[in-house]
Amino acid sequence: MGKKRIGILTGGGDCPGLNAVIRGVAKTAINQYGMEVVGILDGFRGMLEGRFTILDYEKVSGILTIGGTILGTDNKTDPFNVLEVVNGKKETVDKSDVCMEFYRDLGLDALICVGGDGTLTIAGKLAQKGANVIGVPKTIDNDLMETDQTFGFDSARHTATEAIDKLHTTAQSHHRVMLVEVMGRNAGWLALESGLAGGGDIILIPEIPYEIDEIIAAIRRRNRFGKRFSIIVVSEGARPKGGEQVYQRIVDDPAEPKRLGGVSNVIARQIEQATGIECRVAILGHLQRGGTPTPYDRLLATQYAVKAVELAVEKKYNHMVALKGRDMVAVPIERVMGKQRLVPRNSPLIEAAICVGTSFGVKMD
């Protein structure tokens, strides 16, 4: 009987810590269990196109501290919904059988899929078709169900907090309102935690639709008490009460056709018109997904990697590794598929923010 062989792919948007997971999986599999490790290039697109590399000690050496992913990634390809031109018309086609054929041709005993809700939903569907899948939770949005924290979030939170810290001085010097727009999609974890850590005066998150009059009132209250500047931390998915989210563009992409972004510019114009106070907008964008992972993310990613290989050895397939308290556990991947973990209104962080005078752009009960 030959060596066991496991595969690993990274899907969705990149984030700090992906290379730490790749390193952890490869070194644990080779060192502890004598396995072969196959790295699939560019996520599920690599599966469709049959592209892979063999991961050995040399290839994963020295990548712990490096951002991005040596395997490449892709956040547009869903094998179950591939956009193609059929009879002169664009249609989505199910090509998941191509992935399954590639999976079988490689002779994989298990496939470790590292990604967010989109990646793990696809992984779960492949599991239903017969693949032995193990999920590892990755996203700067921290919005995956069943785990206390995803890797990548701490690094993004650090980047966003550092940006807020730097903007404080220029806001204070010029007596301006500075709006800092962070990522997060429909979940406000990144805005909430970086805003609270960075001393944001107003934090706007998707879970609490804002009222522009309340934002303006909060700015005016600060002015009356001698605070001639304000910092507003805005999640890209924030929306006004009774209104819609703001999209920077809508693209021909079945995986993610609507691209959030730009809500801060809308709010800035409204504030300037109502108060005459000069506003400036800083949209952090992909800065939050790049750079060196924090020590915490390196530790978390390594622990996830080791546990994922253990699950493969135990043949506990079709599960995702999750952090519960301080423990690494396994949860069925179907509990994660197609869901998002949002900030609850009774979050202790929201309560703490209110206690220190932070506004959420609405009158809180």
Q: Which of 109, 155, 122, 107 is nearest to 44 (CA)?
A: 122
Using DSSP bridges, classify how beta strands 89-93 and 177-182 pair: parallel, antiparallel or unpaired.
unpaired
d(CA 234, CA 232): 6
Spatial contact of 67 and 156, defined as CB atoms under 8 Å apart: no
Read off φ and ψ for residue 247, nearest 5 degrees: -115, 135
Q: What is the DSSP letter of 138?
A: B
How many helical (H) and strand (E) elements, i.e. helices and strands, does the chain have?
Answer: 11, 15
Catalytic residue numbers? 141
In sequence order, the β-bridge partners of residue 38 are 7, 54
9: closest CA among 106, 121, 123?
Answer: 123
Q: Per DSSP, which regions of the chain are E strands?
A: 5-10, 36-40, 52-55, 82-86, 89-93, 110-115, 133-137, 177-182, 202-204, 230-235, 247-250, 258-260, 279-283, 319-324, 327-332
Consecutive H or E run containing 30: helix 18-33
- Give every CB contact of residue 290 below 8 A, 6+ residues apart in sequence: 14, 16, 67, 68
Contacts of 281 (CB under 8 A, 6+ apart): 178, 179, 181, 264, 265, 268
- At residue 41, what is the residue type? L
Name residue 321's beta-bridge partners.
330
- Collect all residues with Cβ–Cβ distance below 8 Å to 246 and sequence separation of at least 6: 239, 260, 261, 262, 263, 266
